[in-house]
Structure 1
Amino acid sequence: MAGEATAQEDDGGVVTSYGRIRLGNVSIPWRGIECWGVPIALYLQSDATGGLSANVILLPAFAITVMLVANNIEQILLTLRHRPLITFLFVLPFLSVAWSTSGSISLRRALALTLSMALAYIIAIRFTPRQFLFVIVAALFPALLFSLVLLVVAPSTVRMPDGSISGLFSHKNLLGWHAAVALLAGAILTWEGAVSRRLGLIVVATSLVCLLASGSATGLLSVLVALLLVLFFRRLKRLKGIGRVALVLLTLNGAGAAYFIGSEIVVPSLAALGKDTSLTGRVPMWRLEDEAIAQKPLLGYGYQAFWSGGSSAGWKIKAEIDWGSPNAHSGYRDILLSFGLLGFVPFMVLVVRTLVKGASLHIAAPDNSWLGLNVLIGMLLTINVTESIFYMPYNFLFIIFVAALLMISIRKPDFYVPRQVTGFSPATAALSYSRR
Structure 2
Amino acid sequence: MNPKLEKALAIFGMLVFSGVIAMGSYGRGSDGAGGSAGGSNPFDKIMVLFRYAYYAYTLFMLTLRLKTVVRPALRDVLIWGLMGIIVMSHHWSDFPNISEKNGQLTVLTTLFGLYIASRYNMKEQMNILQWTFGISVVFSLLYSGALPNYGIEQGTHKGAWRGPLLHKNHFSRFMAISTVPLLFAALKAKKHRRIMWGIFILSVLMVQLSTSKTGLLVFLTLMLLVPLCKALQSTKSVVVPFLIVIVLIGASAATWLVSNWEPFLYGLGKDPTLTGRTDIWEFVIDKIKERPWLGFGYEAFWLPGGEGENVKFYIFLVLSQAHNGYLDVAVHLGLIGFALWFGSLILCFFRGLIWTRVGGEIEDLWPLLYVIFLLVYNNTESTIVETNSFFWILYVSASFSMKRIRAVIPGAWEVETEEVKIEPKKLV
Question: What is the TM-score when the length of structure 1 is the normalising length?
Answer: 0.79
Superposed displacement of residue 93, structure 1: 0.5
Q: Are residues 190 and 261 of structure 1, via their aligned partners in 2, closer, same or farther at CA, if it must alter by over 3 Å? A: closer
What is the CA–CA distance in structure 2 between the aligned matches of 1:347 and 1:257, rounded to whole Å?
A: 22
What is the CA–CA distance in structure 2 between the aligned matches of 1:223 and 1:388, rounded to whole Å?
A: 17
Correspondent of 1:211 among 198, 207, 210: 207
Quick check: 1:101 aligned with 2:91? Answer: no
Superposed displacement of residue 35, structure 1: 0.5
Worse-matched range after superposition: 323-332 or 48-57: 48-57
Correspondent of 2:120 among 117, 120, 127: 127
Worse-matched range after superposition: 314-323 or 333-342: 314-323
Superposed displacement of residue 124, structure 1: 0.9
Quick check: 1:406 aligned with 2:400? Answer: yes
- Letter of the aligned partner of 1:113 in structure 2? T
Q: Are residues 33 and 58 of structure 1, via their aligned partners in 2, closer, same or farther at CA, if it must alter by over 3 Å? A: farther
Does structure 2 retain, via aligned residues, the 8 Å contact 1:415–1:432?
A: no
Quick check: 1:43 aligned with 2:15? Answer: yes
Question: What is the TM-score when the length of structure 2 is the normalising length?
Answer: 0.80
What is the CA–CA distance in structure 1 between the aligned matches of 2:395 and 2:290, rounded to whole Å?
A: 29
The 5-angstrom pairing of residues 21-100 of structure 1 reads: 29=2, 31-48=3-20, 49-50=22-23, 51=26, 52-73=42-63, 74=66, 75-80=68-73, 83-100=76-93
Deviations 1:249-303 (A, max 9, x none): 45535654665587578525986999x954xx42211111111112222221121
**3-state secondary structure, aligned to 2:402:** helix
Q: Are residues 133 and 239 of structure 1, via their aligned partners in 2, closer, same or farther at CA, if it must alter by over 3 Å? A: same
Superposed displacement of residue 32, structure 1: 3.0
- Letter of the aligned partner of 2:385 in structure 1? Y
**3-state secondary structure, aligned to 1:237:** coil
What is the CA–CA distance in structure 1 between the aligned matches of 2:44 and 2:332, rounded to whole Å?
A: 24
Deviations 1:290-335 (A, max 9, x none): 1111222222112112112342x21211332232211222111111
Does structure 2 retain, via aligned residues, the 8 Å contact 1:176–1:216?
A: yes
Quick check: 1:181 aligned with 2:183? Answer: no
Does structure 2 retain, via aligned residues, the 8 Å contact 1:270–1:277?
A: no
Q: Which runs of 5+ in 2 are unaligned?
A: 27-41, 407-412, 422-428
Q: Are residues 305 and 414 of structure 1, via their aligned partners in 2, closer, same or farther at CA, if it must alter by over 3 Å? A: same
What is the CA–CA distance in structure 1 between the aligned matches of 2:79 and 2:324, rounded to whole Å?
A: 21
**3-state secondary structure, aligned to 2:261:** helix
Q: Are residues 264 and 124 of structure 1, via their aligned partners in 2, closer, same or farther at CA, if it must alter by over 3 Å? A: closer
What is the CA–CA distance in structure 1 between the aligned matches of 2:164 and 2:143, rounded to whole Å?
A: 8
Superposed displacement of residue 433, structure 1: 11
- Letter of the aligned partner of 2:14 in structure 1? L
Percent identical pairs in the alignment equals: 21
Q: Are residues 269 and 234 of structure 1, via their aligned partners in 2, closer, same or farther at CA, if it must alter by over 3 Å? A: farther
Q: Which runs of 5+ in 1 are unaligned?
A: 1-19, 21-28, 417-429
Superposed displacement of residue 343, structure 1: 1.4
Correspondent of 2:321 among 321, 327, 331: 327
Aligned to 1:340: 334
Does structure 1 retain, via aligned residues, the 8 Å contact 2:72–2:117?
A: no
Worse-matched range after superposition: 130-139 or 261-270: 261-270
Does structure 2 retain, via aligned residues, the 8 Å contact 1:125–1:431?
A: no
